[in-house]
Amino acid sequence: MTLAITGASGPLGRAATRFALEAVDPKDLVLTTRNPEALADLAGRGADVRRVDFNDPLTLAAAFKGVDRLVLISTDVIGRRLEQQRAAVRAAADAGVRQVVYTSVPEPVPGNPAVVVADHAGTEQALRDSGLRWTMLRNNLYAHMQVPVIQRAAAEGRLVTNSAPGATAYVSREDCAAVAAAVLTGGGHEDRAYDVTGPTALTAADLAVLASEIGGREVELVHVDDEAYAAGLRAAGLPAPVADLVTTFGASAREGFLSTVSSAVSDLAGRQPTSLAEIVRAAPAA
């Protein structure tokens, strides 16, 4: 059986590849990327590295030829992602791929204010309509993205949030990669959706407590509305689209869309999920 991972030169793809190679021979693995040179080490081990451009259907068709099961890692081009991923789903179906494992987001439903939801919901629907067998891995927010937030709060003595009183089940990227590799190499899980989460759901108040422990000082929790939160992120140097994106994740947490905790990491990957506290404490000092 030939297995494939898209975006294999990115952080999630690289990690998923590493886990997959613990279970399968490199010659059974197709790795797609915009930059094949970045995967020269894996090509040297026998993996089939193929160039792909999600904006070019011809490269998608060639990339998926002969593949039986595929991990489709969502692309990062907001505004074009849905079009790109629909093209990938069509190409997978045309190439005879049997099953697509897709990295989605929690609760991709109407009403979830996270700006990424429409792209993921549309891709999930495209998979359901394609005739392919599918598996949705609905990864929660990455824990490592909170490291600078908590370190800054520890240093400044205040944590500004728009997410209260909601909770988020932050998950490590390594755990997401391990789950993707396990589903890819183990088979099964057809037509199933899994919430991939950390071990607990944490509120902004929990993050403030963690920041206090890290910094050895009390950290004040400051609640602001979405407009003020986005403005603060822009003032801190984030580009406006990124600030708006992050703000919508806070709104999603506030409205309860990120709070589900599951046992998917242990059930599927056979490992205990890493907590946010472990990741923060292991991170280099800011």
pLDDT at 57: 87
Do residues 104 and 195 lie in contact, with contact meaning Cβ atoms separated by under 8 Å? Answer: no
pLDDT per residue rounded down to tens, the chain (286 residues): 999 999 999 999 999 999 999 999 999 999 999 999 999 999 999 999 999 999 998 999 999 999 999 999 999 888 899 999 999 999 999 999 999 999 999 999 999 999 999 999 999 999 999 999 999 999 999 999 999 999 999 999 999 999 999 999 999 999 999 999 999 999 789 999 999 999 999 999 999 999 999 999 999 999 999 999 999 999 999 999 999 999 999 999 999 999 999 999 999 999 999 999 999 999 998 6
pLDDT at 285: 81
Locate the domains of the chain by residue range.
3-139+172-197+261-270
CA 259 to chain centre: 16
pLDDT at 51: 97
b/e per residue, 143-160, with b = 16+ CB within 10 A? bbebbebbbbbbeeeebb
What number does CATH give the domain 3-139+172-197+261-270?
A: 3.40.50.720
Angle at 173 between CA 89 and CA 126, to 5 degrees: 15
Phi then psi for residue 200, to 5 deg, are -145, 160
pLDDT at 10: 97
pLDDT at 77: 85
pLDDT at 87: 97
Do residues 75 and 54 lie in contact, with contact meaning Cβ atoms separated by under 8 Å? Answer: yes
C-alpha 70/C-alpha 98 separation (Å) is 8
Do residues 32 and 5 lie in contact, with contact meaning Cβ atoms separated by under 8 Å? Answer: yes
